[in-house]
Structures are given as C-alpha cells and as structure tokens.
Structure 1
Amino acid sequence: MADRLRDDVGELLRETAAEIVLPLFRRLDEADVAEKAPGDLVTVADRRAEEKIAAALRRLLPGSVVVGEEAVADDPTLLRHLRGGGDVWLVDPVDGTGNFAAGRQPFALMVALLTDGELTGAWVLDPLADILADARVGEGTRLDGRPVHAADRSAVLGALRGTAMTRFLPPGTRERVEAGGARIGELLPGQHCAGREYLDALTGDQSFVLFWRTLPWDHAPGVLLVREAGGVARRFDGTEYHPADDGRGLLVVADEHLWTDVRDALLDA
C-alpha cells in the first residue's frame, strides 16, 4: 500500500466528516433515524457517508471490493469477501451511531483494508476531537501524522486503567469481569464507540479494552492500529483476531507483555 493511499484515505474520512456527518450532528429529524434491528440504529448520516466513502475507495483502488456496515445490513453475503483474494475495504461510516443519534459524543469514522484476506491498512477518525490514526502493516501506526507506540513495559497490573464493555457479556462472564476489576487500577465504563476506545489505547488514556461483540467493521481498523503500535488483540482463549471470524470476546491490550495478566485478572477472578 503506497504512502499516498494512506494519506488519501485519511483525507477522505476528514472530508466525509466535514461534508456529511458533522452537519447532521444534533440536527437529525425523527425521520432521519431508523432501526435495522431492535436497538440497532442507522441514520441518514450513516447511509450518505458510506455511499461517499465506498465510491471514493473504489476509485482509489480500482477492482477493490467494499464491505460496508450498511451494505451488509441489506446483503449479508458481502461478508464472504473478508476471506477472499484481492483488496477488500471494510467501512464503518459512523461508529457509535447510538451516540450520534442521541446528540452525544464520541463517534468515529473507520476504514480497514484487507489484502488477500489479511489486514494491511487501518484508519480511525474522531471528527469532534479532530484525531486521526492510521496504520500500515509492518510500518507502524501514526497519530495525527506522528509515529505512536502504545506499549508501556513499566506498567503494572494494579496501576492500569481500561474499559470492559459489559453490556453484552453473558451474566457469568460479566460477574467475573466486574469482580476482577478490583485487581485493576481503574475499570472504566464503555463509551459505546469502539473507534474511540482504540484511539484511547493509542493515546495512553487506557491500557486495555474488553469487548464481547466483535463485528468486523467495529474492530478490524482498531485492531491493526493497536498491533502496529506494539499491542495485541486476542480472543479470550489467546487466538489472534481476524475480521472474518464469527466469534465472541476480544481483549485488546496496549502492551503485549501485559495481555495474559489482564486476561487472568478479568476472566479468572
């Protein structure tokens, strides 16, 4: 992936946020918000942003396939491309739609690129905070254009702060995680925006995030950002995350050396 493409996708997200997403923030009418499924919202901003981003990505990489969250809602068979050959884009036009629809922050715009089934590029933009992170496989992660390394080997378990997204956890797992929080320095509530959680792992605002639901557009971009910054994203059993896996449970830790400690503290309590 050429450096020019890395910059072009970031600029595309900024442009989409400025032209489509931000002008609709706190200006949505009742008719602009719908439910794809009970509790799963979509807004006119999601649909318009995905249309713009998808068209531009196809121009940037002719012959590429776009798998967008809203397109998959209409045609779930698009997910088959995540294990296919060639270049495949994953798009979350507005991550944190519930926040956006309610006039709250944070929310984010996110894109990932898979090449022959493997993650090779990632972009996450928080347009209100004006923070853009991008990554290129094997070449590291940038935060607003500057290289960033999230790992902190001096950190100890009792001094960590991180998030556990407990809303969707099975009851037994939720109880273990909440009890295990006593072993962690600070267990934070979720922000209902995966993109922002991953950005906070890059900035050092938190050292880990625990998720249950792992829809590919929610996690593929952030996983590569964290990996290229020195962290890890693994299933609870220690296997590496892949966007095509239809699994549950994901523990993202900014420092690989702490992954096992965090997992044991939260899941074996």
Structure 2
Amino acid sequence: MHFDDKTIDSLADLLAEAATVEIMPRFRTLEDDQIRQKTSAVDLVTEGDIAAEKYITRILKERYPEALIVGEEAYEEDRTLLDTLGTADLAFVIDPIDGTFNFAAGIPLFGVMLAVVVKGETIAGIIHDPVGKDWLIGAKGAGAHLRAPSGATRKVKAAATGSIHEMTGSVSWQYVEEPLRSTLARNHAKCLSQFGYRCAAHEYHLLATGNAHFAIYNKLMPWDHLAGVLIHQQAGGYAARLDSSAYLPSHVDGGLLVAPDKSSWEEIRRELWAD
C-alpha cells in the first residue's frame, strides 16, 4: 500500500471533517450524562469521542475495507484489537479526542490523532488541532511539516540538543508509581522548566516544533503515541522505551522517553533516574 502526499492529506482532511461534524459542536456544550469515567477521574470518555471515532472508522472502512482499524473507544469494547496490530498488512490507529479531560472541562487543548501502520511499522502520523484548525503531519522518510488552515506548509524541526539544565520537559505523573514518581519529581528540578498539558497531541506538537525538549510517558497505548513519535522522529528527534529498545506499534508497556537526539536521551535517562 502506497501512501503519497495526496493520500495522507485526504486522511488529514478526514480528521478535520470528524472534528467539524462531531467534536466542535459538543465542545463546552456537554451535559453531565454525556461524560463518564473509564479507569479514573482523569481518564474520561465523552459522546464526542465515541461519535468522532465512529465517523472516522466508517470512512476508513469504505476506503480501505481490508484494513485493521484500531480505535481507542473500540478497544474498550474489544480488547483483541491490538493482537494483530504488529502484523497486519495495513492498520489505522485512531485517537478521536486526545486530551478528553481537557475537552470535557472546556479547555481548548485537545487533538485528533491518526497513525498508519504497515506490517508492524508506523509509516505516517497526523495530529489535528480542531481549535487551531491546523495539522502536524509526518511520513516515514519524508520529514514532518505543519499544515496551516490555508493549506500552506512549513517544515518542523525538533529542539537542538543541550544540557539537562537548559531543557524543558514533561513527565506523565499519573501513571508512575512510587518510589520512582518521587525520584523523577525531585530530579525534574534540574531542568529549566516543565510542562504538562494532559494531552499528548499538544505535547508532541511542542516537541516536534522544537518548543520543548523531552517527554516521559509510562503508559503506552498506541493511539496516544504512534502518530506523535513518528512525526517527532521525522522532525529529527529520537525516542525509545526506557530500557533503550525501539518503540514499536505492538508495545503497550515499557515506558517511553522522547528527546532531541540519542545523546540527549541518554543524559535525561541518567539524570532523571539518579538516586
């Protein structure tokens, strides 16, 4: 299956269509009974998530009837969906609203993400911002760019390397257990500053555009990271699981550290885990 610029742009447009039809009309209009908890008070699902995923899934099935489609909300109903993600000839991985907590709270930091996976390898990633109405798009071997609402594009580049004391980074605290949580919190003070958006889509936007240096995630669900990691890598960045192994679509554990390059990755891994 060949995904050229035109095909990827059509997928980007699909995410925007779903946002226009199913997401934005619900933003700041949700009733309490249209929001529910999944695993915790910060892990939510709304009618917007479910409707947007169904919209995107329906169109993808029409265009690619043989493809495996893995949506975050569909996975809640069928946990076998991830079983063949690492081997499928073609798969699409959907996060209909990344940053659902923000969306439900009326905070305009959420995104729609899609990754294209071919035989266990991510070959394209798209992150759409329904509020800013732009897209971050990356394709394997073709770099990464930001597409404006006008259609104009510009290349993006990950942050330059530097010492840990000059870095801005994020640690996803809610999925880190003690005592590591306290260790990371203490050592994070070595950095210049920190950020935490409760939204991987916008965090990957910062990383891929060079406006932040690193992010640490302990929970690895493919819809949260495949698109962002691919875009960041195509922007010149580096990512690996915490044991330094490569991050693959089939991985759902092992943690993830995203950094400007391998040497920065090694410094962050050493300094933030130091006793």
In the superposition, the TM-score normalised over structure 2's length comes to 0.92
**1:90 corresponds to which letter in structure 2?**
V
Looking at structure 2, the residues matched to 122 and 67 of structure 1 have their Cα atoms a distance apart, in angstroms, of 14
Deviation at 1:50, TM superposition (A): 0.4
Q: Which moved more, 1:236-245 or 1:90-99?
A: 236-245
Contact 2:159 2:212 in 1 (8 A): no
Contact 2:53 2:95 in 1 (8 A): yes
- Residue segments in structure 1 that go unaligned for 5+ positions in a row: none
The equivalences for 1:98-109 within 5 A come to: 98-109=101-112
Tell me the secondary structure at the aligned position of residue 83 of structure 1.
Answer: coil
Which of 207, 218, 234 in structure 2 is aligned with 1:212? 218
Tell me the secondary structure at the aligned position of residue 83 of structure 2.
Answer: helix
Which of 183, 190, 194 in structure 2 is aligned with 1:176? 183
Contact 1:81 1:88 in 2 (8 A): no
Tell me the secondary structure at the aligned position of residue 100 of structure 1.
Answer: helix
Deviation at 1:3, TM superposition (A): 1.4
The equivalences for 1:1-269 within 5 A come to: 1-39=3-41, 40-144=43-147, 145-153=153-161, 155-188=162-195, 190-269=196-275
Contact 2:157 2:210 in 1 (8 A): no
**1:260 corresponds to which letter in structure 2?**
E
**2:32 corresponds to which letter in structure 1?**
E
Looking at structure 2, the residues matched to 235 and 266 of structure 1 have their Cα atoms a distance apart, in angstroms, of 15
Looking at structure 1, the residues matched to 249 and 90 of structure 2 have their Cα atoms a distance apart, in angstroms, of 14
Contact 2:214 2:258 in 1 (8 A): yes
Looking at structure 2, the residues matched to 107 and 267 of structure 1 have their Cα atoms a distance apart, in angstroms, of 30
Q: CA RMSD in A?
A: 1.5
Deviation at 1:59, TM superposition (A): 3.0
Contact 2:85 2:250 in 1 (8 A): yes
Looking at structure 2, the residues matched to 141 and 173 of structure 1 have their Cα atoms a distance apart, in angstroms, of 34
Tell me the secondary structure at the aligned position of residue 81 of structure 1.
Answer: coil
Looking at structure 2, the residues matched to 48 and 267 of structure 1 have their Cα atoms a distance apart, in angstroms, of 41
**2:81 corresponds to which letter in structure 1?**
L
Tell me the secondary structure at the aligned position of residue 160 of structure 2.
Answer: coil
Looking at structure 2, the residues matched to 255 and 57 of structure 1 have their Cα atoms a distance apart, in angstroms, of 34
- Residue segments in structure 2 that go unaligned for 5+ positions in a row: 148-152
Tell me the secondary structure at the aligned position of residue 180 of structure 1.
Answer: helix
Looking at structure 2, the residues matched to 263 and 217 of structure 1 have their Cα atoms a distance apart, in angstroms, of 24
Tell me the secondary structure at the aligned position of residue 183 of structure 1.
Answer: coil
Q: Say if 1:38 and 1:257 are closer, same or farther in 2 by CA, change over 3 A.
A: closer
Deviation at 1:247, TM superposition (A): 1.1
Contact 2:35 2:45 in 1 (8 A): yes
Deviation at 1:140, TM superposition (A): 1.0
Looking at structure 2, the residues matched to 243 and 152 of structure 1 have their Cα atoms a distance apart, in angstroms, of 26
In the TM superposition, what whole-angstrom CA distance separates every residue of 1:35-61 from its partner, at most 9, and x where no partner exists? 333433211111110011112222333
Contact 1:149 1:202 in 2 (8 A): yes
Looking at structure 1, the residues matched to 75 and 175 of structure 2 have their Cα atoms a distance apart, in angstroms, of 21
Looking at structure 1, the residues matched to 86 and 219 of structure 2 have their Cα atoms a distance apart, in angstroms, of 20
Looking at structure 1, the residues matched to 75 and 142 of structure 2 have their Cα atoms a distance apart, in angstroms, of 30
Percent identical among aligned pairs is 33
Contact 2:243 2:254 in 1 (8 A): no
In the superposition, the TM-score normalised over structure 1's length comes to 0.94
**2:160 corresponds to which letter in structure 1?**
D
